Chain A
């Protein structure tokens, strides 16, 4: 809603306020998932699937040194299963439904041992940082045994994270923020992927398979996850001597496959040297396939995407898509909850910091296993 007349802008603001009120009510009484809370005017599913990452994208260099700096001393080894609160994205986001499934699956063990896992999510992504901070406060007010949270907007959320650590509640930062953000607030560990590394991995894969000019379809210009992903592709391509172009889309195109498709078609008609198109999420992938058909460029232009769902996996299987990049969201929820459960009960910790869950490139060779996982709602 960035481009309407003044009148509509103010109506939009009203809608936004209504959404905020809904969000506030939601955080007041945490339910297991905000399924009844609705999509907003500007659903930012991918913005939060990765969330605005901290500027300090510290690369994926996993230091294997035993954790010394950020360890929280108290809280470990109680012998009792904790009540774990997990802050995450909306459940209608394909990505976050996998994270939630992982957290819930790990939660089965927690429940069997007498604890619980509660999922907290904002009603929409319009005010991500403050909403996430509120949810973290909500979690803390429930006297939690442990907390998992994404550091989407460090400036807005860090105070809430620090309050959790100060209350001696074991904390794992996951999905966004990377290790630097986790260590800054004193969390046990970081579990997640690194968008820049994922982008660079994709770029190198493309360059090594003979592609000369990649187009990155950025449907969320300005969001740091999007910049990190496109930026990574750029690094991967240009370092191998290949070309890179970015196509930023205005918010009036968001969620409208036809508009995305026509924009991509225009881009490849305008520059015939483009031979591969990368999308930042699965939602734009069918639109790109249609654009390639409409531009009559099936033989000269290939496509690949970040993240995955059944449609993209089937396209990989049928050869319409080169690969998808899986950051294995299920593992983010599953590992974060499991690690906290074991830590609180038995004081167990992982030496790896951060714990990276991706990227994994799923191409024709690994697509069948991924399809089976997708059918089960885990991949």
Chain B
């Protein structure tokens, strides 16, 4: 009963990617008003820019893999973090979860010599556990998720450190993963592209279906758009939020496992850069910090933009001391552009869809 209405609401917000019932008619105005358009222009813009500045090496497979590898790992975390942000919540604990899961995998299979799949499952299970804890605390206490997950980020880092020292006497651990695991998680395709790129593609497909096709997507938009309405419509808000926190922690844990296997070991202090980088990628991708608005295509574009800018600088031959400045300016430009396109998207009034006039 809710599905049809919510789908309409989402369509009006412009956040739906494909509307099966709509006639496939090309419409420039409609394209410009799609929420991903700003993010797409940003990605194409920086790609063209660095292709010109970076020259032939940037477009070679070594150059492309340079930013695609960075994007893939960031993307695996940014996708579920993006879902959470659409639902109006934040997850600042991904950094520590990444470090904790990579240390877990490395200690279990490296220091203790257990089969590598046991280590991988332990790492992922640890992620799910932290995610469930985040979700439970956020939904039960109503403390803002910013504070809850910040606290988790600190706590998990502390536990990881204390356990690592207690169990191994060291703050790093080395691991040499056996063959099926190495190929599936930590190898380089053609000596260049991380397998993480494929995992990212899978994650895009799954999350895309979840957000834009399944009814759960409607629930997520509804929770982020108007929590009280979502509640009165009977959406299991707490369940959805806990599931979302578990998925973002699972994403972080997966990247932790991938890095542990790819780089043959783990370190306690890894991962913190992902906390802000994932949020940045999601925001460049056009997701509103206040929730209720965004798309998977946008998040993917935001992740690519971030990675291209971050890595492109090394191919440009410019003074690398300026990297942070260039990154900052480009991010600001991307978000300003997104705001423009979002305003256009939200001003769109469909000619043949007079439903949901009261929303927003």
Query: Could you list which residues of chain A lie within 8 angstroms of chain B, going by C-beta atoms?
Result: 1-5, 7-8, 11-12, 14-15, 18-19, 22, 35-43, 45, 91-94, 97, 221, 247-259, 261-263, 265-267, 269-270, 282-283, 286-287, 289-290, 293-296, 309-311, 314, 374, 376-377
CB distance from B289 to the nearest CB of A (A): 7
Assess whether B269 is in contact with A39, with CB atoms less than 8 Å apart.
Answer: yes
Q: Is residue B16 within 8 Å, beta carbon to beta carbon, of the partner chain?
A: no
**The one of B269, B273, B314 that contacts A252, using a Cβ cutoff of 8 Å:** B273
Contact (A286, B320) CB under 8 Å given A3-B327, A38-B155? no
**The one of A270, A282, A287 that contacts B315, using a Cβ cutoff of 8 Å:** A270
Which of chain A's residues have a CB closer than 8 A to the CB of B95?
39, 41, 255
Bound-state Cα–Cα, A377 to B265, Å:
17
CB distance from A225 to the nearest CB of B (A): 16
Assess whether A258 is in contact with B170, with CB atoms less than 8 Å apart.
Answer: no
Bound-state Cα–Cα, A127 to B359, Å:
46
Assess whether A250 is in contact with B327, with CB atoms less than 8 Å apart.
Answer: yes
Assess whether A252 is in contact with B275, with CB atoms less than 8 Å apart.
Answer: no
Which of chain B's residues have a CB closer than 8 A to the CB of A251?
273, 324
- Greatest chain A CB density within 10 A among B63, B277, B324 is at B324
Q: Is residue B270 within 8 Å, beta carbon to beta carbon, of the partner chain?
A: yes
7 further A-B contacts with Cβ under 8 Å, apart from A97-B170, A250-B324, A255-B273, are: A8-B279, A39-B268, A92-B171, A255-B270, A256-B273, A262-B67, A290-B188
Q: Is residue B323 within 8 Å, beta carbon to beta carbon, of the partner chain?
A: yes
**The one of A7, A254, A309 that contacts B172, using a Cβ cutoff of 8 Å:** A309
Assess whether A294 is in contact with B327, with CB atoms less than 8 Å apart.
Answer: no
Which of chain A's residues have a CB closer than 8 A to the CB of B280?
4, 8
Assess whether B263 is in contact with A287, with CB atoms less than 8 Å apart.
Answer: yes
B317-359 CB mask vs A (1 if < 8 Å, else 0) is 1001101110110011001000000000000000000000000
**The one of A2, A5, A41, A377 that contacts B324, using a Cβ cutoff of 8 Å:** A2
Contact (A253, B191) CB under 8 Å given A18-B150, A35-B165, A37-B154? no
B20-46 CB mask vs A (1 if < 8 Å, else 0) is 000000000000000000000000000
Which of chain A's residues have a CB closer than 8 A to the CB of B69?
258, 261-262
Which of chain B's residues have a CB closer than 8 A to the CB of A255?
95, 269-273
**The one of B73, B265, B332 that contacts A5, using a Cβ cutoff of 8 Å:** B332
Assess whether A35 is in contact with B161, with CB atoms less than 8 Å apart.
Answer: yes
**The one of A12, A262, A310 that contacts B311, using a Cβ cutoff of 8 Å:** A262
Assess whether B154 is in contact with A269, with CB atoms less than 8 Å apart.
Answer: no
Bound-state Cα–Cα, A300 to B332, Å:
40
**The one of B65, B169, B289 that contacts A294, using a Cβ cutoff of 8 Å:** B65
Which of chain A's residues have a CB closer than 8 A to the CB of B67?
262
8 residue pairs from A and B, CB less than 8 Å apart = A40-B272, A41-B276, A91-B165, A251-B324, A270-B315, A293-B188, A311-B174, A376-B169
Which of chain A's residues have a CB closer than 8 A to the CB of B262?
257-258, 290
Q: Which residue of chain B has the shortest Cβ distance to A46 in the bound complex?
A: B269
CB distance from B186 to the nearest CB of A (A): 10
Bound-state Cα–Cα, A282 to B264, Å:
13
CB distance from A59 to the nearest CB of B (A): 27
Which of chain B's residues have a CB closer than 8 A to the CB of A39?
95-96, 99, 153-154, 157, 161, 268-269, 272
CB distance from A24 to the nearest CB of B (A): 15
The 4 closest A-B pairs by CB, nearest first: A38-B154, A266-B314, A3-B328, A92-B161
Which of chain A's residues have a CB closer than 8 A to the CB of B314?
247, 262-263, 266-267, 270
**The one of A93, A247, A311 that contacts B269, using a Cβ cutoff of 8 Å:** A93
Which of chain A's residues have a CB closer than 8 A to the CB of B169?
376-377
Bound-state Cα–Cα, A256 to B281, Å:
15
B170-214 CB mask vs A (1 if < 8 Å, else 0) is 111110000000000000100110100000000000000000000
Assess whether A293 is in contact with B170, with CB atoms less than 8 Å apart.
Answer: no
Q: Is residue B301 within 8 Å, beta carbon to beta carbon, of the partner chain?
A: no
Query: Could you list which residues of chain B lie within 8 angstroms of chain A, going by C-beta atoms?
Result: 57, 62-63, 65-67, 69-70, 73, 92, 95-96, 99, 146, 150, 153-158, 160-162, 164-165, 169-174, 188, 191-192, 194, 259, 262-265, 267-277, 279-280, 283, 289, 310-311, 314-315, 317, 320-321, 323-325, 327-328, 331-332, 335
Assess whether A263 is in contact with B162, with CB atoms less than 8 Å apart.
Answer: no
Bound-state Cα–Cα, A84 to B360, Å:
64
Bound-state Cα–Cα, A251 to B327, Å:
11
Bound-state Cα–Cα, A41 to B157, Å:
11
Contact (A252, B174) CB under 8 Å given A38-B96, A257-B263, A287-B263? no
Q: Which residue of chain B has the shortest Cβ distance to A262 in the bound complex?
A: B66
Q: Which residue of chain B has the shortest Cβ distance to A296 in the bound complex?
A: B191
Bound-state Cα–Cα, A253 to B317, Å:
18
Assess whether A259 is in contact with B310, with CB atoms less than 8 Å apart.
Answer: yes
Q: Which residue of chain A has the shortest Cβ distance to B258 in the bound complex?
A: A258
CB distance from B252 to the nearest CB of A (A): 12
Q: Which residue of chain B has the shortest Cβ distance to A254 in the bound complex?
A: B273
Q: Which residue of chain B has the shortest Cβ distance to A96 in the bound complex?
A: B171
**The one of B99, B263, B310 that contacts A250, using a Cβ cutoff of 8 Å:** B310
- Greatest chain B CB density within 10 A among A221, A247, A252, A267 is at A252
Assess whether B154 is in contact with A22, with CB atoms less than 8 Å apart.
Answer: yes
Assess whether B311 is in contact with A266, with CB atoms less than 8 Å apart.
Answer: yes
Which of chain B's residues have a CB closer than 8 A to the CB of A289?
263
Q: Which residue of chain A has the shortest Cβ distance to B289 in the bound complex?
A: A7
Assess whether B172 is in contact with A310, with CB atoms less than 8 Å apart.
Answer: yes
Assess whether A41 is in contact with B269, with CB atoms less than 8 Å apart.
Answer: no
- Greatest chain B CB density within 10 A among A4, A253, A290 is at A4
**The one of A258, A282, A314 that contacts B70, using a Cβ cutoff of 8 Å:** A258
CB distance from A231 to the nearest CB of B (A): 15
Bound-state Cα–Cα, A261 to B194, Å:
12
Assess whether A94 is in contact with B57, with CB atoms less than 8 Å apart.
Answer: no
Assess whether B162 is in contact with A294, with CB atoms less than 8 Å apart.
Answer: no
Bound-state Cα–Cα, A122 to B188, Å:
39
Assess whether A252 is in contact with B62, with CB atoms less than 8 Å apart.
Answer: no
Which of chain A's residues have a CB closer than 8 A to the CB of B162?
35-36
